[in-house]
């Protein structure tokens, strides 16, 4: 019952470790007590085990018996104090960690797991969405976005734009390196989601030059300038198009159906619900002379004679009876980045909105990236590791119960490695495996 070597916890940890060892530490060598490696891996251990107080507990264990699980499981040589950890991470660029996400995806591709995410002629669906993970009226840094309230108070925040590989029929999601939505020194104009999206698209294409990609997004993105950016990056798209944002487009669609030039399909499922699909190919996105020609589709779910869901999208892919159902599923799968990624990080143990430390440079974003990296490792193990799957789903009814047990166990016992901890949780009567 072993995962593929390159997808095991040890292999993923090694991928992180190897990359961290290649990052140049700008501090003077003679004045460094805690290495950059130890600081990042300590933060990763804290996020991985979903325990903000992990390092303090393990330091006490180290003081008592000269051993600790942060060392044996995560390879940390010296556990940094909280203030020192924050000072070191505050100076680390999030871009320095980004290649680890690419390495994980490469390992999944090597293990033939990535191919399972292909849809619509072998493309990968990558929805993008923004989210806020920090806000305060007092704590802030030069990178914070800010908004002035009517009473004159300033509200500071940190936001990110996340891209995630998803499949409409799969619960596991594969996050790519996030793009911060943040202000830069020396600029008066605030950053925004659409500008972050343009940067993110360029980075994704540079990192994955040959990957066939469908970008998914809400109505913010279904405007011609961004669609032109996607075309320039050789990316397909499925973007929400609302009547209020695309009046001329919807007039075209209405005219096409009035002329009986549109297509439609109705499917009744086993529950008696009607799934109504309508589409039109080759219509202008807007009323300008150089308007992009796009393909339009809409979907309605009818339950007991009432429409319980309705939405519409634009795409560059030609629509027909064979792909309309999957196109709608792909369009609706955009919610996965909110539910399976942001909601999980915020409400299921990852403490995403907990202020681990803000700093004056990169600390807030670095903690977010490391948290996302821990989430990614969990997703990979949940997808590929038989022992992890057996322990998680056979012995425990909830994610919370599973991680509570792990946290309690490593506070009283020392394990030589992650696999040993998993084996012990599965069958504690056999003792701690070597």
Q: Quote the pLDDT of residue 135.
A: 87
CB distance 18 to 403 below 8 Å = no
Query: Looking at residue 359, what is its pLDDT?
Result: 86
Say yes or no: 329 and 363 in one domain: no
Decide if 184 is inside a domain. Answer: no
Residue 374 lies in a domain: yes
Question: For residues 301 and 274, is the Cβ–Cβ distance under 8 A?
Answer: yes
Assess if residue 78 is contained within a domain: yes
Given 289, 316, 333, which residue is the final one in a domain?
A: 333
Tokens at residue 129, please?
């969405």
**Average pLDDT value for the chain:** 92
For residue 314, give the CATH number of its domain.
Answer: 3.90.350.10
What distances in angstroms separate CA 276 from CA 169, 295, 302, 304, 409, one per listed residue? 20, 17, 8, 14, 52
Q: Comparing 214 with 157, which gets the higher pLDDT?
A: 214
Say if residue 236 is in the same domain as residue 322. yes
Q: What gap in Å lies between CA 235 and CA 5, rounded to an integer?
A: 32
pLDDT greater at residue 218 or residue 149? 218
| Domain-terminating residue out of 288, 318, 333 | 333
Maximum distance among all alpha carbons in the chain?
82
Distances (CA, A) of 121 to 19, 54, 118, 233, 317: 34, 46, 8, 18, 10
Is a pLDDT exceeding 90 seen at residue 189? no
Q: Where does a domain end: 317, 333, 349?
A: 333
Best CA proximity match to 357, nearest among 42, 27, 23: 42
Cα dist from 340 to 92, 331, 369, 376, whole Å: 28, 16, 16, 12
Looking at the structure, do residues 320 and 372 belong to the same domain, yes or no?
Answer: no
As a whole-number percent, the residues of the chain with pLDDT over 90 amount to 76
Indicate if the pLDDT at residue 186 is higher than 60.
Answer: no
pLDDT class for 148, splitting at 50, 70, 90? confident
Q: Is the pLDDT of residue 363 over 80?
A: yes
pLDDT exceeds 90 at position 68: yes
330: confidence class by pLDDT, cuts 50, 70, 90: very high
**Residue 382 and residue 326 share a domain:** no
Structural element, H or E, at residue 76: none
Residue 297 pLDDT: 98
Q: For 54-84, give one letter per residue: b (16+ CB within 10 A) or e.
A: bbebbbebbeeeeebbbbbbbbbebbbeeee
Nearest alpha-carbon partner for 413 in 61, 21, 172, 26: 61
Report pLDDT for 201: 98
pLDDT bin (cut points 50, 70, 90) of residue 150 is: confident
Q: Are 194 and 218 in contact (CB under 8 A)?
A: no
Task: Give the pLDDT score at 187.
Answer: 60
- H helix intervals, 291-362: 324-332, 335-336, 344-347
Instruction: Of 19-33, 129-143, 248-262, 309-323, give the lowest mean pLDDT range.
Output: 19-33
pTM (2 d.p.): 0.93
* Interval 385-403 mean pLDDT: 94
Does 261 fall in a domain? Answer: yes
In this structure, are 376 and 310 located in the same domain? no
Distance, CA of 324 to CA of 247 (rounded, Å):
23
Same domain, residue pair 312 and 395 = no
| Residue 426 neighbours by CB distance under 10 Å | 15
Grouping H, G, I as helix, E, B as strand and the rest as coil, residue 421 is helix
Mean pLDDT, residues 361-378: 94
Kindly report which listed range (10-14, 304-308, 312-316) carries the lowest average pLDDT score.
Answer: 304-308
124 lies in some domain? no
Q: Which residues contact 19 (CB under 8 A, 6 or more apart)?
A: 97, 99, 100, 103
Q: Are 302 and 372 contained in the same domain?
A: no
Residue 349 has a pLDDT of 62
- Indicate the DSSP class of residue 67: -
- Domain residue limits at 36: 5-96+359-430
Nearest to 351 by CA among 375, 376, 334, 381: 375
Between CA 101 and CA 369, with CA 51 as vertex, the angle to 5 degrees is: 25
d(CA 313, CA 219): 9
State how many domains the chain has. Answer: 2
In the predicted structure, residue 79 carries a pLDDT above the cut 60:
yes
User: What band does 64 get if pLDDT is binned at 50, 70 and 90?
Assistant: confident
Statement to judge: residues 321 and 394 lie in one domain: no
Question: For strand 293-303 and strand 274-284, is the pairing parallel, antiparallel, or unpaired?
Answer: antiparallel
Residues 259, 363, single domain; the answer is no
71 is a domain residue: yes
d(CA 99, CA 372): 13
Residue 312 gets the label, from left (phi > 0), alpha (psi -120 to 50) or beta, of: beta
Verify that 230 and 303 share a domain, yes or no.
Answer: yes
Residue 322 lies in a domain: yes
Q: Which pLDDT belongs to residue 3?
A: 65
Say how far apart CA 146 and CA 157 lie, in whole Å: 6
Q: Is residue 205 part of a domain?
A: no
Both 248 and 326 in one domain: the answer is: yes
How far apart are the C-alpha atoms of 222 and 244, rounded to whole Å? 12
Classify residue 10 as exposed, middle or buried by CB count within 10 Å of its CB (0-12, 13-18, 19+).
middle
* Contacts for 332-335: CB closer than 8 Å, 24+ residues apart: 332/168, 332/299, 333/125, 333/127, 333/166, 333/167, 333/168, 333/216, 334/127, 334/129, 334/216, 334/217, 334/218, 334/240
Note whether 280 and 384 are same-domain residues: no
Residues 36-49 pLDDT 10s = 999 999 999 999 99
């Amino acid at each position: 019952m072993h995962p593929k070597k390159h997808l095991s916890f040890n292999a993923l940890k090694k991928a992180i470790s190897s990359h961290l060892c290649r990052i140049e530490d700008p501090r003077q060598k003679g004045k460094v007590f805690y290495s950059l490696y130890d600081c990042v891996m300590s933060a990763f251990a804290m996020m991985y085990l979903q325990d903000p107080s992990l390092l303090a507990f393990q330091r006490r264990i180290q003081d008592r018996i000269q051993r600790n699980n942060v060392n044996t499981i995560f390879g940390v040589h010296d556990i940094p104090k909280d203030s020192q950890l924050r000072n070191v991470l505050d100076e680390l660029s999030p871009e320095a960690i980004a290649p680890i996400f690419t390495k994980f995806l490469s390992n999944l591709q090597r293990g033939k797991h990535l191919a399972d995410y292909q849809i619509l002629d072998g493309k990968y669906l990558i929805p993008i969405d923004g989210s806020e993970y920090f806000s305060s009226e007092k704590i802030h840094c030069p990178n914070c976005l800010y908004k002035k309230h009517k009473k004159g108070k300033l509200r500071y925040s940190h936001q990110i734009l996340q891209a995630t590989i998803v499949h409409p029929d799969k619960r596991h999601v594969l996050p790519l390196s996030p793009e911060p939505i943040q202000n830069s020194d020396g600029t008066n104009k605030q950053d925004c989601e659409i500008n972050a999206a343009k940067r993110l698209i360029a980075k994704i294409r540079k990192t994955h030059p040959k990957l066939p990609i469908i970008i998914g997004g809400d109505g913010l993105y279904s405007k011609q300038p961004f669609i032109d950016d996607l075309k320039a990056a050789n990316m397909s798209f499925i973007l929400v198009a609302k009547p209020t944002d695309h009046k001329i487009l919807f007039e075209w669609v209405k005219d096409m159906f009035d002329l009986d030039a549109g297509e439609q399909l109705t499917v009744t499922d086993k529950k008696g619900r009607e799934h109504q699909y309508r589409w039109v190919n080759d219509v202008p996105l807007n009323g300008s002379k150089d308007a992009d020609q796009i393909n339009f589709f809409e979907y309605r779910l009818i339950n007991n004679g009432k429409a319980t869901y309705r939405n519409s999208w634009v795409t560059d892919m030609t629509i027909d009876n064979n792909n309309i159902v999957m196109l709608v599923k792909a369009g609706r799968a955009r919610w996965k980045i909110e539910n399976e990624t942001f909601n999980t990080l915020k409400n299921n143990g990852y403490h995403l909105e907990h202020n681990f430390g803000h700093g004056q440079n990169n600390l807030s974003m670095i903690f977010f990236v490391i948290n996302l990296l821990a989430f990614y490792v969990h997703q990979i193990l949940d997808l590929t590791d038989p022992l992890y799957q057996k322990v998680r789903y056979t012995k425990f009814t909830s994610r919370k119960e599973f991680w509570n047990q792990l946290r309690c166990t490593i506070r009283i016992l020392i394990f030589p490695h992650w696999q040993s901890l998993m084996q012990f949780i599965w069958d504690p009567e056999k003792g701690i495996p070597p």
